[in-house]
Amino acid sequence: MRAHEAGALHGDIGSRGPAWLRPPADVNALVPALWPRNVARGGDGVLAVAGLGVRDIAADFGTPVYVLDEDDLRSRCRDFRTGFDGVDVYYAGKAFLCRAVVRMIAEEGLHLDVCTGGELATALSAGMPPERIGFHGNNKSLRELTRALDAGVGRIILDSFDEIDRLTALARERGVRPRVMIRVTVGVEAHTHEFIATAHEDQKFGFSLAGGAAAEAAFRVLDDGVLELRGLHSHIGSQIFDASGFEVSARRVLGLQAQIRDARGVELPELDLGGGFGIAYTTQDDPAAPQDLAKRLRRIVESECAAERLAVPHLSIEPGRAIVGPAVFTLYEVGTVKDVDGIRTYVSVDGGMSDNIRTALYDASYSATLASRASAAEPMLARVVGKHCESGDIVVKDEFLPADVQPGDLVAVPGTGAYCRSMASNYNHVPRPPVVAVRDGRARLIVRRETEEDLLALDVG
Ligand SMILES: Cc1ncc(COP(=O)(O)O)c(C=O)c1O
């Protein structure tokens, strides 16, 4: 698929854009599903979040900048909490984690999933109650596990036999009985609109169901008795729109639950169905509301449990993207506009693949709008690119921007809350942008901009 080392998009030439992308009737109009809930264009034509104009944000914090609509994030936490009533909702911190966000999700009653010592340290330093933290990862070090035990995290999701041995030894040493789950690889892989159910599972995460490793792991933990096995866990992928992948995975994992009951007489009390709920990056995406997702998942679990004559276990889920993704947009300043004759117009902004690697890494699609003013110009198909020395440095592959877009304009890209700042790099020694939370017309810096001094401070040679 990747024919060119610069990325999948490098050879993709043509000025019409994808078939689904239509010239908008009004190039200034916002598609509500793509934007944080408190974003609107003001009477002056300037994009504003919770009443604060982006020109002011750019003047105070510079660009690029990630702008978080705090009430949007909080409302999505509440949507999941109320929609998934009675289900523990673990926010997947890998999507984006900083202390302010930890506090927000804690205040909104969510749990937190971390997958490294750094994420755990961030959560603990922000005062996240340890019993509401779940610890993931396919290669947790002895140090990380020790720290998790010492902190008293609520559950550790076991991912390998080595880890079972490691954690068992640590728990024995300390005389504690940590709560654990077994991550099961169910042979379902779901990405965007499709899922594939395969017989064997060629990936690094979890214990294979088909190969028998998952059952063996459960028996080992139960027979040993040192760790408290709470349940099974499965996460099938990301940006999922179709519940049928969850259906196959629930069927398979509950089949294992029944096998464990039959072999050991134990019904595990919990089940985690993972995260991966899709969001709208473009007008092509149509995500389900949390309460609809909840209904579907509950129905699936109830019917599979009935088929296996199992009690319905206490459920948990781990959404990351669906909580933080739509709550953030990235604000960039345009530096150059280049019309490559007969092919397309390149609008270069002052960030790029260092603040959003998803386009280059996953061929992800995004949207954009001219944010610092409204325009009366015709829509023009543009490609928003970054400032990095890489032709695959694309932020938005195809979008209609006004034909008079020019250097100094601000462009906003929505849907950048998840896996953008958290995957940001210093490629080309570009300092990583700040994160600014806006609420009730006021902006608050929650992650400061990296500086060249920060970069040089690490360079001790
Ligand atoms: C185990 C697990 N849970 C939850 C998530 C969160 O996924 P998403 O942000 O797509 O909801 C991931 C993402 O990779 C994951 O690996």
Give the tens place of pLDDT for each residue, 229-259. Answer: 999 999 999 999 988 899 999 999 999 999 9
Q: Which of 3-12, 159-168, 408-417 has the lowest mean pLDDT?
A: 3-12
pLDDT of amino acid 194: 75
Residue 178 CB–ligand 1 contact under 6 Å: no
pLDDT of amino acid 143: 97
Work out the mean pLDDT of the chain and round it to a whole number. 94
Contact (Cβ atoms closer than 8 angstroms) between residue 349 and residue 407 = no
Give the tens place of pLDDT for each residue, 83-118. Answer: 999 999 999 999 999 999 999 999 999 999 999 999
Q: Is the pLDDT of residue 326 over 60?
A: yes
Residue 69 CB–ligand 1 contact under 6 Å: no
d(CA 135, CA 395): 32
Give distance in angstroms: CA of 94 to centre of ligand 1: 8
pLDDT-based confidence at 2, cuts 50/70/90? Answer: very low
Expressed in angstroms, the distance from the first to the final Cα of the chain is 40
Instruction: Find the largest Cα–Cα distance for the chain.
Output: 71
pLDDT of amino acid 190: 83
Residue 238 CB–ligand 1 contact under 6 Å: yes
pLDDT of amino acid 376: 98
Contact (Cβ atoms closer than 8 angstroms) between residue 329 and residue 414 = yes
Closest C-alpha residue for ligand 1 atom 10:
276
Give distance in angstroms: CA of 243 to centre of ligand 1: 16
pLDDT-based confidence at 33, cuts 50/70/90? Answer: very high
Half-sphere exposure of 149 (CA within 13 A, CB side): 22
Residues 217, 219, 222: CA angle, nearest 5 degrees: 110
Backbone angles phi, psi at 118, to 5 degrees: -65, -45
Closest C-alpha residue for ligand 1 atom 8:
276
pLDDT of amino acid 227: 98
Give the tens place of pLDDT for each residue, 385-423. Answer: 999 999 999 999 999 999 999 999 999 999 999 999 999
The encoded tokens of residue 111 equal 């749990």
* b/e code 154-184 from CB counts within 10 Å (16+ = b): bbbbbbbeebbebbbebbeeeeeebbbbbbb
Best probe residue, ligand 1, of 186, 318, 362, 419 (max atoms within 8 Å of C-beta): 318
Residue 276 CB–ligand 1 contact under 6 Å: yes
> Which of 126, 173, 129, 174 is closest to 155 using CA atoms?
129
Give the tens place of pLDDT for each residue, 37-62. Answer: 999 999 999 999 999 999 999 999 99
Residue 358 CB–ligand 1 contact under 6 Å: no
Task: Give the ligand 1 atom nearest the CA of 321.
Answer: 9
pLDDT-based confidence at 15, cuts 50/70/90? Answer: low
pLDDT of amino acid 201: 77
Residue whose token pair is 């040192």 = 226
Task: Give the ligand 1 atom nearest the CA of 318.
Answer: 4
Residue whose token pair is 């049928």 = 244
Give the tens place of pLDDT for each residue, 125-152. Answer: 999 999 999 999 999 999 999 999 999 9
pLDDT-based confidence at 36, cuts 50/70/90? Answer: very high
pLDDT-based confidence at 341, cuts 50/70/90? Answer: confident
pLDDT of amino acid 8: 44
Best probe residue, ligand 1, of 94, 111, 139, 242 (max atoms within 8 Å of C-beta): 94
Q: Which of 17-26, 196-205, 211-220, 309-318 has the lowest mean pLDDT?
A: 196-205
pLDDT of amino acid 266: 97
Half-sphere exposure of 209 (CA within 13 A, CB side): 27
| Beta-sheet pairing, 328-340 with 344-349 | antiparallel
d(CA 397, CA 93): 27
Residue 76 CB–ligand 1 contact under 6 Å: no
d(CA 286, CA 126): 34
What integer is the mean pLDDT of 351-358? 98
Residue 319 CB–ligand 1 contact under 6 Å: yes
What pTM was computed for the model?
Answer: 0.95
Q: Is the pLDDT of residue 460 over 80?
A: yes
The encoded tokens of residue 134 equal 């779940």
Q: Is the pLDDT of residue 4 over 60?
A: no
Give strand pairing partners of 237.
190
Give distance in angstroms: CA of 364 to centre of ligand 1: 17
Percent of the chain with pLDDT over 70: 96
AA identity, residue 22: R
Give distance in angstroms: CA of 283 to centre of ligand 1: 23
Residue 318 CB–ligand 1 contact under 6 Å: yes
pLDDT of amino acid 199: 59
The encoded tokens of residue 98 equal 């900083």
